[in-house]
Homo-oligomer: A and B are copies of this chain.
Amino acid sequence: MARVVVNVALKPEILDPQGRAVQGALSRLGLSGVIDVRQGKQFIIEIDGELEGDRADLLEKLAGELLSNPVIEDFTLTVEN
């Protein structure tokens, strides 16, 4: 069984109001020195068998089109076979 972790984050140049709100809350609750907070999504996908070849290519494609919005988001994909 393969375990695939896809992390999706807003591109650095895109404003992240949720992250900004969390940054403000952390500071108000007493955590000093918070420079930046970005909030993203994480998908943990369990796949039957090994992930390789066409199936790996398709998942990479879908991570960029279904799981993330390529206009405003970047993704990283890690496979643990």
Chain A residues in the interface with B (C-beta under 8 A): 1, 7, 9, 19, 22-23, 25-26, 29-49, 55, 58-59, 62, 66-67
CB distance from A3 to the nearest CB of B (A): 10
Q: With A34-B46, A44-B38 as given contacts, are A22 and B55 in contact (CB-CB < 8 Å)?
A: no
CB distance from A69 to the nearest CB of B (A): 14
Chain A interface, DSSP helix/strand/loop, else mixed: mixed
- Residues of B near A46 (CB, < 8 A) are 34-37
Q: Are B25 and A48 in contact (CB under 8 A)?
A: no
- Residues of B near A39 (CB, < 8 A) are 41-44
- In the docked arrangement, what's the CA distance between A1 and B34, Å? 10
